[in-house]
Amino acid sequence: MRSILDAAKAGSLDVDISAVISNRPDAAGLTFAAGEGIATAVIDHKQFDSREQFDEALAAKIDDYQPDFVILAGFMRILTEGFVNHFAGRLINIHPSLLPKFKGLHTHQRAIDAGEAEHGASVHFVTAELDDGPVILQASVPVLANDNADTLAARVLEQEHLLYPAAIQKLVSQQTE
Ligand code: NHR
């Protein structure tokens, strides 16, 4: 999230950040965003009886800002089909693998265990099925002989911080073509 806000501030990403919204009142990203003068909001999932009710409140809050795109960045709640469909074609996530390889968790260890020569990250549209939506842009890194999950994760994360703003810029420039 910070990389995206930094890129928007620096002008390498041509967007206005409408708001930063979290389900966790204590999320560090809220404090950072507020310090940048960006609107923030919290929709705490613990205040809702069901995922559907939480997602409806979250969608309504997002709609207040009328954004062109909704960018998941460290958002850790699986979203309902209703939410995903409401933002179809506008909802984006980053996943630490070269999708469609290694959907789900522990991607770095799984890439090492599979003997992959290359690993990386993917920015993709979010669909109801986890880590399954169309890929927008990917970045690759080599898997080195002495890598463990932590060293590989660090190499991927460095690329993620460049990839996510670049993928959003790709969408924005397509939009205004
Ligand atoms: N929702 C849908 N429908 N599809 C995707 O591809 C999604 C999604 C919601 C979030 C991000 C993804 C990630 O960046 C993401 C992709 C959380 C979980 C998860 O299992 C899975 C994938 C992602 C994020 N969440 C648990 C849940 O029950 C809770 C885990 C927790 O609170 O720590 O929602 O990693």
Per the prediction, the chain carries an average pLDDT of 97
Domains contained in the chain, number: 1
106-129 residue pLDDT tens: 999 999 999 999 999 999 999 999
At 1, which amino acid appears?
M
CA 121, 31, 28, 17: dihedral to nearest 10 degrees?
-20
Domain containing 10 equals: 2-176
* Residue 14 to residue 71: CA distance in whole angstroms: 15
What is the distance, to the nearest Å, from the Cα of residue 37 to the centroid of all Cα atoms in its chain?
Answer: 21
Ligand 1 centroid from CA 176, angstroms: 30
| Residue 176 reports pLDDT greater than 90 | no
- How many helices and strands (H and E) does the chain possess? 6, 6
* pLDDT-based confidence at residue 177 (cuts at 50, 70, 90): low
Q: Could you read off the pLDDT of 165-175 as tens digits, one per residue?
A: 999 999 999 98
Position 175 scores a pLDDT of: 84
Query: In a mutational test of the pocket of ligand 1, which residue from 76, 105, 160 has the highest number of ligand atoms less than 8 Å from its CB?
Result: 76
pLDDT band at 75 (very low <50, low <70, confident <90, very high): very high
Q: What is the CATH number of the domain that holds 90?
A: 3.40.50.170
Confidence check: pLDDT of 13 > 80: yes
Q: Which residues line ligand 1 (CB under 6 A)?
A: 72, 75-79, 84, 93, 126, 128, 130-131
Mean pLDDT of 42-65: 98
- On the CB side of 69, how many CA atoms lie within 13 Å of its CA? 24
Ligand 1 atom showing the smallest separation from residue 124 Cα: 6
